[in-house]
Structure 1
């Protein structure tokens, strides 16, 4: 008798303890699928979002993968950092390595939206540096728990060059304190704030709102630490205005090197009207990694949410191809 797979209606919540220069913190992660499955898919969200953004995609893939959707520190169910200056990609990369060590996957695939894609590039770059440092000890690297290669990578509306226009738009609202008297008001705000996500049903907008707002003292306010705005604005807004061309080029070279180290099975997703990943940069990404593929989502800006059946179908075909 063939058993019917159990359909998981909601994720399991767990935590991993990570460290920063100012102490330790817990990073929450949402888990779908068989916890003994060593085939892992990591889904990493954007700047102010949470791992619950991936519920629809994770549920659709949970029969094939152990799907892990972390709340990056400072967001969702994760702790806030004592020092807001630590809300930077290197800290997030370190936390992800701690999570990978907990999961011990045999294969690792990645879906990264915006910031989640940059974290993925950071992890890929760190693995390349590790291999270079231990080039003399090939056997150790191949047998190391850190040597889990990316099998397939999805970069969702992000690349090694990020548009200043998109960064400025995000900088205009990140860190703003918001209070609403009802959940319905928060949903209406979300529809306007994230209209670039494209068309969604009322139920989908409520889902996209529910995990980035929470009720406190009779009002609905943001769940993320407003302190994440401090290093973001300094690094991406103020620095862009003051940095020399040489500094910008050096930063982009690091990202391009990491990008070019990605596996052959890389999918670039771009919202058709994205103000963060330009069509020009997307085409350059295809040229510099000729095996990569491009999926452009019509009627969407920054960034596709992978909630609609057509978007999910494209990712399933890419991730599950043999």
Structure 2
């Protein structure tokens, strides 16, 4: 028996989009929706979901073009406006009118846009290593590998690729942890060969600059009625310490937590991450 149910929602333009449902029929707390980063998928949140499942219902979405969701035949649709519409379709299907969003990187940007467009929808927003200003150094690094990773020959090769790309951000992982990390980012094709679980065409949006504008402070400042928790990896090259300080200063209900020995982005299984998220949800989702 799995720990979650696999569900599907059909987007407005007809794509089948997958999401995980970690059910909790007994809770009266608000549901939690987890949204992943640019090249990632719902598997990122499995440990966090298991941690939260005794107290909350947790949903984790595969954004279009990632994980088990269908690829978009038109790569121009890989942008935050489309992603927000997809999330709203999921929430409508589940009849959810109030929730907390946990968003890593791109997922946090989607969460910010959701909150700005629908102020009554979000009871809280967790931003995992993302904010209204993105460090150009990190963005350049991401542009360098999205859609450009060499095909893996086997699982050992896939693990080596993931270490090469993410080793600086995730020091100290064991070989078993790296294997699990890789298996969350790849799936096996019909020949048993590992294939990255995202559409390489998402790189077009990245290179065109459609992932995020240089500054989103005006968007962030519309979130004044939404409590915010911002997590920052201590070695992040995407979210600077100065940006986090400004986020706390400019928002009436924003708290911040540094996750040590992590770059972009924390895995959300670290003790600091879990403690901060637990405290935030006790404040917002009960």
- Answering whether residue 224 of structure 2 is matched by residue 261 of structure 1, we say yes
Going from structure 1 to structure 2, the CA distance change for 1:206 and 1:320 (only over 3 Å counts) comes to: farther
Match status 1:24 vs 2:14: yes
Any gaps of 5 or more consecutive residues in structure 2?
none
Matched, 1:68 2:59: yes
Does the CA contact (< 8 Å) of 2:128 and 2:232 recur in 1? Answer: yes
Equivalents in 1 of 2:57, 2:228: separation in Å? 20
Q: Deviations over 1:272-320 (max 9, x none)?
A: 1111011111100011013211100111111101123443233222212
Which structure: larger Rg?
1
CA distance in 1, matches of 2:25, 2:61: 15
**Counterpart position of 1:144:** none
The aligned counterpart of 1:138 is none
The alpha carbon displacement at 1:181 in A equals: 2.1
Does residue 267 of structure 2 align to residue 305 of structure 1?
yes
Query: Structure 1 regions of 5+ residues with no counterpart?
Result: 1-7, 129-146, 241-247
Report the equivalent of 1:199: 172
Q: Residues of 2 paired with 1:293 and 1:47: CA distance?
A: 24
- The normalised TM-score by structure 2 is 0.91
| CA-CA distance at 1:190 after TM superposition | 1.0
After superposition, the Cα gap between the structure-2 partners of 1:81 and 1:114, relative to the gap in structure 1 and judged at 3 Å, is same
Measured on the aligned residues, the alpha-carbon RMSD in Å equals 2.2
| Higher percent of residues as helix | 1
Instruction: Give how far 1:67 is off.
Output: 0.2
Match of 1:12 in 2: 5
Name segments (4+ residues, structure 1) moved above 6 Å.
none
Partner residue of 1:137? none
Listed one character per residue, the Cα deviations across residues 33-78 of structure 1 (whole Å, up to 9, x for unaligned) are 2257562100111000011101011001111111000000000000
The aligned counterpart of 1:155 is 127
Report how far residue 113 of structure 1 moved.
0.4
In structure 2, what is the equivalent of residue 87 of structure 1? 78
**Residues 112-261 of structure 1 correspond to what in structure 2 (within 5 A)?**
112-128=103-119, 147=120, 149-195=121-167, 196-216=169-189, 217-235=191-209, 252-258=216-222, 260-261=223-224
Residues 115 and 124 of structure 1, relative CA distance in 2, 3 Å threshold: same
Greater shift, 289-298 or 205-214, is seen at: 205-214
